Amino acid sequence: MMENELRNKFLRRQATIGIIGLGYVGLPLVLRFAQEGFQVLGFDIDPEKVNSLNRGQSYIQHIPSGQIAEIIQAERFEATQDMARLGEPDALLICVPTPLNPHREPDLKYVEQTTKDIARCLRPGQLISLESTTYPGTTEEVVLPQLVPTSLRVGIDFFLVFSPEREDPGSSTFNLANTPKVVGGVTPSCLRLGEILYSQVVTQVVPVSSTRVAEMTKLLENIYRAVNIALVNELKILGHRMNIDIYEVIEAAKTKPFGFQPFYPGPGLGGHCIPIDPFYLTWKAREYDFNTRFIELAGEINTSMPYYVVERTVQALNERGRSIKESRILIIGAAYKKDVDDVRESPSLKLIDLLMRRGARVDYHDPHIPVMPRTRRHQFDLRSVPLTPENLSAYDAVLIVTDHSCLNYEDIAAHANLIVDTRNAITGRDHAHKVIRA
């Protein structure tokens, strides 16, 4: 039986693992499987990524090049653009982007194209796992129909599961190995093999009854965060009007040992998950004549936060006799979260865009992002400026958007003329006269 053969390959670590998409999700999987003794073949359409990895060089900050070089030298890993080789691995893990289109609807073109590539090479004895976040039903409604016309039978000849990624870039506590892995299979045999595969590289596998449950699980995780962040963002705005420090409120509330989990406000949501994933479910819910009002309201609040930050900046400048037009503004932090080099959906990008539209002259500083990369929505010709006392004092306002741990906030506070702080990075009374919370 194919199931038994594949099971034995996984248990003996004699299987070749194919990772499709070598970004923030795929590359950690490459390392984990290779470090556990598997042969790994990585697929990506970006020739620069492929060439970099085959030279033993990493392009993701929290993944050291030395770890890539080690598995290359051990001949455990090879990267390729050649999708005709998708028939070689025994397991194929799909880690491609699932963005939203301009109408905030799911854009599955990368999943669909990858599935077509797999279908052309699919052979008996392969397990396919979709890890890309998506709406419930994608695995069985989008991926499976493109694979079954090959005349191979799912659950008998080939196997299909959904296992959502749970990466937390920049975290020193949680990684792929110690984060439980949720797995749902199209058939019971698919689920059994998915459990066995992932149990070789993670400490705990959490099996669920279907791929739809697994897909919904990932959405719930991120919607939970989006809704709670929206709540504290709304309370932050109310707190500003009532002259109440929401951060002090949160610190007091979290002393309660039960029934409360702290979430913190900010300038808007960033990253590839929280700003995007909720809209996958709101889109799918319409198929069932259901309006996800709670999720959509949270999305409206979080989407509005960069506009609120800009208005607070305009107000603060006006109070000091300055117009936003022609003002020099320094954005501190381009990454979407602290201590990472990822700008996907970063609120900093929206803030730069909004401020430039108001006529401001905008620069940024981010030690993790020396050059502003091009994104789907924004193309800024900017480089990170040095954070010197002279530079800080030359700007009309400094906006703290990403609170990287390596920055000296006391120096920033000492030399900046006006600080718009969206992260509660500047505390204490010494510089309170020049700090505006936003």
Concatenating the DSSP letter of every residue in 123-181 gives -TTEEEEE-S---TTHIIIIIHHHHGGGSPPBTTTEEEEE------TT-SS--TTTS-E
- pLDDT category at 168 given cuts 50, 70, 90 is confident
Q: Is the pLDDT of residue 150 over 80?
A: no
Q: Does 190 participate in catalysis according to the annotation?
A: no
For domain 2-209, the question of CATH label 3.40.50.720 is answered with yes
- pLDDT category at 1 given cuts 50, 70, 90 is confident
Average pLDDT over residues 93-106: 91
- pLDDT category at 62 given cuts 50, 70, 90 is confident
Residue 231, pLDDT score: 97
| Tokens describing residue 167 | 């990466």
Backbone angles phi, psi at 170, to 5 degrees: 90, -10
- Round the average pLDDT of the chain to a whole number and report it: 94
Q: Where in the chain is the domain with CATH 3.40.50.720?
A: 2-209, 225-437
Instruction: Report CA-CA distances (Å) from 336 to 17, 64, 137, 224, 349.
Output: 31, 20, 29, 18, 9
* Active-site option among 121, 190, 273, 406: 273
The alpha carbon of residue 386 and the mean position of all alpha carbons in its chain are separated, in whole angstroms, by: 27
Rounded Cα distance, 230 and 113, in Å = 34
Average pLDDT over residues 61-73: 93
What CATH class has 225-437?
alpha beta
Average pLDDT over residues 413-436: 91
Backbone angles phi, psi at 328, to 5 degrees: -95, 120
Average pLDDT over residues 400-409: 96
- Listed in order, strand segments (DSSP E) in 262-315 are none
Residue 181, pLDDT score: 97
Nearest to 208 by CA among 224, 227, 195, 221: 195
Read off the pTM: 0.92
